[in-house]
């Protein structure tokens, strides 16, 4: 790509903003335009379910001087379609031409059927969502949460900290059932009880009406507000008919350079899946670290800089019920699970090995395990399971 070519980035979240920053850092001198559907200046999302939700921070805007970078930031402009022939993005403000396009359009929360327009039903993804939810917590309203996943646990944590009565409903038999195996997540059910949160598992939702959540077992839960936290889906509906190849989950199918199936189009962050040689499968990672790392690969390829295939060790964290939970790697395909410490306690880790090598770990209140383990995962290091199971032995000393 020549220095004067126009780069248009669809999405003003972490992935989109960091792509613009990385392009300048890699020396691109041409026009860079970032399109953001929201009217707010670009902001970081993790604090939304924590300090911002609790009113401990006014916002989480990125500390980036877009004017100094020479980046055109167009807020309140959403993408509505893509015409690859003339290389234009259709938007709510008209067509925007590009020479290279980066899709960083993120994801949207999944919703429950039949809840559209029902008063008192909410999701938590944007600053506008927080603006509606924060007064409810401050007023100590009764809260019902559908889904005991990451966002459900974090919202329950905040709501209890605010003094709300909280009930969490999970269709599976345990928290985080879709993310982690039962041997790891079963003890987490106790975290809810410790915090005073009522957790109902193994029951689905029949219907939702204003002020009440009706369960499949006939029980009704009265609630002033209902938070739906059942995951997210890539926000790629606007790409229908564009020729951009999407996977069954709706993610853009990017290659190891994060290129999409159309020329001069890349995809990064929550909206893109990529092939992982490390794990032997295609990964779709909806977490902050992926949105931070991917832009560097995209910018390097767009500017002709040297770049390795994009194949990071996935990483994320969560703060819930007074615990700091961290995860690194990808445990699918592991053949051995090693417990490190007592899961009934306040600090423990779980390690996944494949062929003797560490491929993933979950650390609860053990940040040193995470820091050392992440490096071992990156190196594909073999561990001695017996030594690794001893929490008094540093992981870096448990090499085989």
pLDDT single digits (tens) 38-77:
999 999 999 999 999 999 988 899 999 999 999 999 999 9
The pLDDT of residue 353 is above 90: yes
The pLDDT of residue 25 is above 90: yes
Mapped onto helix, strand or coil, the DSSP state of residue 192 is helix
The pLDDT of residue 23 is above 70: yes
Kindly state the helix (H) or strand (E) to which residue 273 belongs, with its residue range.
strand 272-276
For 170, 223, 239, 257, 305, the CA distances from 215, given in Å and listed in that order, are 10, 13, 36, 45, 55
Residue with tokens 């915090």: 195
Which CATH topology does 7-108+232-303 take?
FAD/NAD(P)-binding domain (3.50.50)
pLDDT band at 342 (very low <50, low <70, confident <90, very high): very high
Tell me if the pTM is above 0.75: yes
CATH 3.50.50.60 segments of the chain: 7-108+232-303, 121-228
The beta strands (E) that lie in 138-204 are given as: 143-146, 166-170, 198-201
Which CATH topology does 322-397 take?
Enolase-like; domain 1 (3.30.390)
Eight-state DSSP code of residue 41: P
Kindly state the helix (H) or strand (E) to which residue 374 belongs, with its residue range.
helix 367-379
pLDDT band at 1 (very low <50, low <70, confident <90, very high): low
More confident residue, 85 or 327: 327
**Residue 299 near residue 28 (C-beta atoms within 8 A):** yes
The answer to whether domain 121-228 has CATH 3.30.70.20 is no
Count of other CB atoms within 10 angstroms of residue 48: 25
Q: Nearest Cα to 249, choosing from 286, 280, 276, 279?
A: 286
Looking at residue 2, its pLDDT comes to 64
Looking at residue 59, its pLDDT comes to 84
Residue 11 and residue 33: Cα distance in Å, rounded? 10
pLDDT band at 307 (very low <50, low <70, confident <90, very high): confident
Tokens, residue 61: 């805007």
Summarize the confidence of residues 18-27 as an average pLDDT. 97
CATH 3.30.390.30 segments of the chain: 322-397
Eight-state DSSP code of residue 398: -
**Residue 225 near residue 120 (C-beta atoms within 8 A):** yes
pLDDT single digits (tens) 180-228:
999 899 889 999 999 999 999 999 999 999 999 999 999 999 999 999 9
């Amino acid at each position: 790509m020549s220095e004067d070519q126009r780069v248009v980035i669809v999405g003003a979240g972490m992935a989109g903003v960091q792509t613009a920053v990385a392009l300048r850092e890699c020396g691109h001198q041409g026009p860079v335009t970032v399109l953001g559907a929201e009217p707010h200046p670009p902001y970081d999302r993790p604090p939304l379910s924590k300090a911002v939700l609790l009113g401990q921070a006014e916002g989480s805007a990125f500390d980036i001087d877009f004017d100094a970078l020479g980046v055109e930031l167009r807020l309140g402009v959403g993408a509505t379609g893509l015409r690859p022939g003339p290389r234009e993005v259709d938007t709510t403000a008209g067509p925007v031409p590009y020479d290279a396009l980066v899709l960083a359009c993120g994801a949207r929360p999944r919703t429950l059927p039949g809840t559209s327009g029902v008063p008192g039903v909410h999701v938590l993804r944007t600053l506008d969502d927080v603006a509606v939810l924060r007064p409810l917590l401050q007023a100590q309203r009764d809260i019902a949460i559908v889904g005991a996943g990451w966002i459900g646990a974090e919202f329950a944590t905040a709501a209890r900290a605010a003094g709300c009565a909280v009930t969490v409903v999970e269709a599976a038999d345990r928290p985080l059932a879709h993310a982690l195996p039962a041997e790891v997540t079963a003890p987490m059910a106790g975290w809810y009880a410790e915090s005073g949160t009522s957790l109902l598992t193994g029951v689905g939702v029949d219907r939702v009406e204003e002020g009440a959540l009706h369960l499949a077992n006939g029980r009704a839960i009265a609630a002033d507000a209902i938070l739906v936290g059942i995951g997210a889906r890539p926000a790629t509906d606007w790409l229908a008919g564009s020729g951009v190849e999407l996977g069954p989950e709706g993610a853009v199918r990017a290659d190891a350079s994060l290129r999409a199936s159309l020329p001069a189009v890349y995809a990064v962050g929550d909206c893109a899946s990529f092939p992982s040689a490390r794990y032997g499968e295609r990964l779709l990672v909806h977490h902050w670290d992926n949105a931070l790392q991917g832009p560097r690969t995209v910018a390097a390829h767009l500017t002709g800089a040297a770049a390795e295939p994009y194949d990071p060790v996935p990483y994320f964290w969560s703060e819930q019920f007074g615990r700091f939970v961290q995860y690194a790697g990808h445990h699918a395909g592991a053949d051995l699970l090693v417990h490190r410490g007592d899961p009934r306690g306040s600090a423990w880790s779980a390690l996944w090995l494949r062929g003797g090598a560490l491929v993933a770990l979950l650390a609860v209140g053990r940040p040193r395990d995470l820091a050392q383990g992440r490096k071992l995962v990156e190196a594909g290091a073999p561990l001695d399971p017996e030594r690794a199971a001893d929490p008094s032995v540093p992981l870096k000393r448990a090499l085989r």
